[in-house]
Amino acid sequence: MKIAVLTLGCKVNKYESDALIFELQQKGYEAVDSLQFADAYIVNTCAVTNEAEKKSRQMLERARKFNPNAKIFVLGCASQNRPAQFEGKGVSYIGGTYSKKKVLEQIDKMQGEGLIKSDFQVKKEYEDDLFSAQTLSRAFVKVQDGCDRFCTYCIIPYLRGRSRSRSVQSIENEVSKLPDSVKEVVVVGIDVSDYKIDGQKGLGTLLTHLDKFDKRLRLSSLEDSLIDEDFLKQLASLNNFCPHFHLSLQSGCDSVLKKMNRHYTTAEFENSINLIRKYFPLAGITTDIIVGFPTETEEDFQDTLNFVKKVKFSQLHIFPYSKRDGTVASKLYKDLSGKIKTQRLKKLEEVGTQLKNQFILQNKTAKVLIEQKNGKYCEGYSENYIKCFVEGNFKAGDIVEVTNFRPFKNGALVDLK
């Protein structure tokens, strides 16, 4: 029996989907991670924006076109948020963000035409029962779940629950079992910055433990509050750390940041970037920015443009504000027009492209982890997260030294050193 696991949203969802695929394969099922004909589909949904929820619903329709008679099982943030939106669509099972492994029991039964709903309660403990079998050159390893920040625009803390951390021993155990073909570990979570050991900040200590495995170490999205001298000294002492910091800004305007319930000012954020560059001069510093937050004026947006240019991010991930029912912002503020959001997004994208190209040209040499071959080019990422295209016949997992960086497609064209 073939089961397709379809994933929307973040790296944490991807990790959890990969873990479900591994469990299914252990049970003797043929499990795949792409949309194709299958006897059953697991749709791991996302709710970070309205568009993400819409795409989650559309994924069910797309699966139905491949096999109208297939059983469909729905999990994740969108079904945790509003399970009713998936009812009456021929769905056999609706689960949420916790106890995703329960879907395996329902697949084993796979009988009848009725709808089964899971318990949508999110518990306080880290749920340490899903482990992914990694086969690619980069492996996501989940270390944390949930979020305590409650930004006014974000619904995820209400869906994923409070922050909780996985034990160092469990994480080490998983990394120790990764095959030699995996050359890079990406540490992921809903709020990785809040990873704790015995109730104290522990991300730097965790990376120190993982450094012994001779695999490149990369962090996913971080918060400004984590960046200080002690943390950066820990990172600088590692042998395998990739100097890439995805530091979420969200807005370059202090008044907007305050209304977002982001606990820093632009001056504090700039100090964090300067501190990073003190220890890692050519670090890739990428960021998320929301345009069109309800209180954002044209002057506020200009402040964001100016700040982005000033600190010189290496790459921008830009999102138009999406009103999420149940959040503080949805209750307090009137949404801006889609036209305004689109205009601001395009302006910021232009600046982002310029900054990305400037950063690419600053680089002289790098070690690129090859992930795939596409036509005459092999593709992969440098330590500081530049997507590189190099000619040659390399296989996934090869690490090649490159030079002569120049902007190309959505990354850099490079030569072998």
Among 415, 349, 360, 417, smallest CA distance to 386 is for 360
Higher per-residue confidence, 234 vs 134 = 234
Q: What is the DSSP letter of 91?
A: E
Q: What is the mean pLDDT of residues 285-309?
A: 98
pLDDT at res. 366: 98
Q: What is the DSSP letter of 123?
A: P
Whole-structure pTM value: 0.93
Q: Quick check: 131 pLDDT over 80?
A: no
Among 101, 112, 80, smallest CA distance to 16 is for 101
Q: What is the mean pLDDT of residues 392-410?
A: 95
Q: Give a three-class secondary structure readout of 275-322.
A: HHHHHCCCCEEEEEEEECCCCCCHHHHHHHHHHHHHHCCCEEEEEECC
**How confident is residue 126, by pLDDT bands cut at 50, 70 and 90?**
confident
Q: What is the mean pLDDT of residues 269-276?
A: 98
pLDDT at res. 117: 85
Which two tokens mark 376? 């005459």
**Cβ atoms within 10 Å of 353's Cβ, excluding its own:** 14
CATH for the stretch 138-355: 3.80.30.20
pLDDT at res. 99: 86
pLDDT digit string, tens, across residues 236-269? 999 999 999 999 999 999 999 999 999 999 999 9
pLDDT at res. 121: 79
CB within 8 A of 200, min separation 6: which ones? none
Alpha-carbon distance of 64 to 23, in angstroms, equals 24
Residue recorded with tokens 């890439």: 244
Q: Quick check: 406 pLDDT over 70?
A: yes
The residues facing 285 across adjacent strands are 245
**CA distances from residue 94 to 41, 84, 155 in whole angstroms, order as listed:** 12, 9, 19
pLDDT digit string, tens, across residues 39-67? 999 999 999 999 999 999 999 999 999 99
Alpha-carbon distance of 91 to 72, in angstroms, equals 5
Mean of all residue pLDDT scores within the chain: 94
pLDDT at res. 255: 98
Q: Quick check: 323 pLDDT over 90?
A: yes
What homologous superfamily is domain 365-416 in, according to CATH?
Answer: Nucleic acid-binding proteins (2.40.50.140)
* C-beta of residue 322 within 8 angstroms of C-beta of residue 393: no
pLDDT at res. 112: 58
Residue recorded with tokens 């002569």: 404
pLDDT digit string, tens, across residues 326-350? 999 999 999 999 999 999 999 999 9
pLDDT at res. 129: 79
pLDDT at res. 339: 97
Q: What are phi and psi of 149, to 5 degrees?
A: -80, -35
- Counted residue by residue, the chain has a size of 417
**Cβ atoms within 10 Å of 246's Cβ, excluding its own:** 20
Boundaries of every domain in the chain = 2-117, 138-355, 365-416
Q: Quick check: 135 pLDDT over 70?
A: no
Element (H, E) at 233: helix 229-236
How, if at all, do strands 116-117 and 91-94 pair?
A: parallel
Topology given in CATH for the domain delimited by 2-117: Rossmann fold (3.40.50)
